Amino acid sequence: MPTLSLSFAKAALPKSGTLVVLVGDDSALPASLSSPSLSRAITLKKFAGKSGSSVDVLGPEGIAADRVILIGAGAASDRDHVNLGGKIAAAFGSDATVTVLAQMGEAVLEPHQAAELAFGVRLRTYAFDKYKTKATRKDEDAAPKAQAVTFAVANAAATKKAFAELDAVADGVVLARDLVNEPANVLGPVEFAAEAQKLEALGVKVTILTEKEMKKLGMGALLGVAQGSVRPARLAIMEWMGGKSKEKPVAFIGKGVVFDTGGVSIKPAAGMEDMKGDMGGAAAVIGVIKALAGRKAKANVVGAIGLVENMVDGNAQRPGDIVISMSGQTIEVLNTDAEGRLVLADVLHHINKAYEPKLMVNLATLTGAIMVALGQSHAGLFSNDDALADGLAKAGTATGEKLWRMPMGSEYDKLIDSKNADMKNIGGRFGGAITAAQFLKRFVGETPWAHLDIAGTAMGSPSSDISSGWASGFGVRLLDRFVRDNHEG
């Protein structure tokens, strides 16, 4: 991945390199771009600025730039500048010097719109290629070491200011993607906790609990999962207190199973490699804390991530084992592969007790069942509080990290009652994502709470305008927006 530098300058046509121009179905080319070869290409391609269309011309007559790319920006009513930025990045590829005209026809974009273009460019150019050696890296010789993208804008200072905040959010998304992509042999619970500790540099207070400390707190559910791994569990707590000093925090809690073999209830071999991403919830939480601290959000937010590895071992827990959670409630572990809820049970209880947060949102790659229900374009939203659910759903619509509310209720709750303990960790064959949510609900007391099942959206994701796929960083932009719109200032 070449190093990318993004800058903003007063609009002017470049003397060389690649020029990117936006064309909506309601706007023409800027008058300064008259070129017979460009006009001919537009006619031959019947280019009318439709979303998804483009025209790409090398060395157009009468224009100094070496390459001109026209990007269809579609109708103004459904124009999303972040996604448009992603399309721009996909079009210029590995070109070393790029100028993007941040205008539609003669109309200049607002500073926040131009900043969103740059944000989309940054998200789309992300690649996880650190383990590609020269021998296998595609186009190694052709690709430049550095890429400079300049946005030609009306007000460079205002655009730069707007981008600084989005740049912090992008840092959070990139961190989440990196962690989800990182293989489990490199990223164990201890290494993940060290990543959380790094946020101290941004003014975040970080506390890491060891197994000994978690044992003292009585976290039998989390530790039962961890006991099958030679790598010890950690609980990382990150506090960003940018808000008023007496205000209760918002709490974000993440499932951080660095690898999920299923344990003794072992998973099939095919596709098991994907379970390196079973810490997507924890990645989103560390990512959003990084984003909030990076943009100095005026909000009090606690992030907590339960970090364990679910392995098969002589010391692993067995189906039928009964564990005592920190809340005192007992759990019969009928399937060791339903481990995420066991981890979250203790983290939710601990955070609720220790911080008395005004609300809690947990994120987890919790069930395959949510993928059966919703596919890969919406995460499941479960909540005991309508206002909280609405706030999250709105943030989802605004960012494109979409949520779909799922039902909860006593009919589902009774499916996890157990003969031998207070509850069992699996329901029946039906409604698997819902019974998982009912399980979590038993550990949150009266606190407004929402659970986001991101199994279908955080990992194994299809590519999009702003993501080249697999690790999407889902949740970071969503929660950043949720905080900005509901808990800041």
Query: In this structure, are residues 108 and 11 in contact, taking their beta carbons and an 8 Å threshold?
Result: yes
401 belongs to the binding site for ligand BES (CB under 6 A): no
455 belongs to the binding site for ligand BES (CB under 6 A): yes
Q: What is the DSSP string of 335-358?
A: -TT--HHHHHHHHHHHHHHHH--S
Using the minimum distance from each CB to Zn ion, give the nearer residue, 271 or 489: 271
The identity of residue 317, as a single letter, is: Q
Residues forming a β-bridge with 19: 68, 99
Q: Which residue has the tokens 């995420």?
A: 340
Query: Does 244 participate in catalysis according to the annotation?
Result: no
- CB under 5 to 8 A by kind: which of Mn ion, ligand BES, Zn ion, none does 222 bind? none
Closest residue to Mn ion, based on beta-carbon distance: 337
Q: Which of 87, 341, 402, 477 is catalytic?
A: 341
Question: Site for ligand BES (CB under 6 A): which residue of 365, 457, 461, 468?
Answer: 365
* Residue 456, token pair as written in the block: 């279908």
250 belongs to the binding site for ligand BES (CB under 6 A): no
Query: Is residue 51 classed as helix, strand or coil in its secondary structure?
Result: coil
Interface segment toward ligand BES; rule CB under 6 A; list 60-68, 188-196, 367-375, 479-487: 367-375
Query: Does 424 participate in catalysis according to the annotation?
Result: no
Residues forming a β-bridge with 78: none
Q: Which of residues 317-346 bind ligand BES (CB under 6 A)?
A: 335, 337-340
263-to-12, 150, 253, 336, 486 alpha-carbon distances in Å = 60, 50, 23, 6, 40
461 belongs to the binding site for ligand BES (CB under 6 A): no
210 belongs to the binding site for ligand BES (CB under 6 A): no
Interface segment toward ligand BES; rule CB under 6 A; list 48-56, 143-151, 234-242, 360-368: 360-368
Give the C-alpha separation, 320 to 317, whole Å.
Answer: 9
Interface segment toward Zn ion; rule CB under 5 A; list 144-152, 272-280, 289-297, 433-441: 272-280
Query: In this structure, are residues 489 and 298 in contact, taking their beta carbons and an 8 Å threshold?
Result: yes
Q: In 3D, which of 243, 352, 351, 303 has the Cα closest to residue 475?
A: 303
Question: Site for ligand BES (CB under 6 A): which residue of 167, 278, 465, 480?
Answer: 278
392 belongs to the binding site for ligand BES (CB under 6 A): no
Q: Which of 45, 267, 298, 394 is catalytic?
A: 267
Give the C-alpha separation, 186 to 329, whole Å.
Answer: 35
CB of 154 to Zn ion, least distance (A): 49
What backbone phi and psi angles, to 5 degrees, belong to 326?
-60, -30
376 belongs to the binding site for ligand BES (CB under 6 A): no
CB of 316 to Mn ion, least distance (A): 13
What backbone phi and psi angles, to 5 degrees, belong to 201?
-60, -25
72 belongs to the binding site for Zn ion (CB under 5 A): no
- State how far Cα 483 lies from the chain centre: 15
Give the C-alpha separation, 306 to 189, whole Å.
Answer: 9
Summarize as ranges the residues that interact with Zn ion (CB under 5 A): 257, 260, 278, 340
Residues annotated as part of the active site: 267, 341
Summarize as ranges the residues that interact with ligand BES (CB under 6 A): 260, 262, 278, 335, 337-340, 365-369, 426, 432, 455
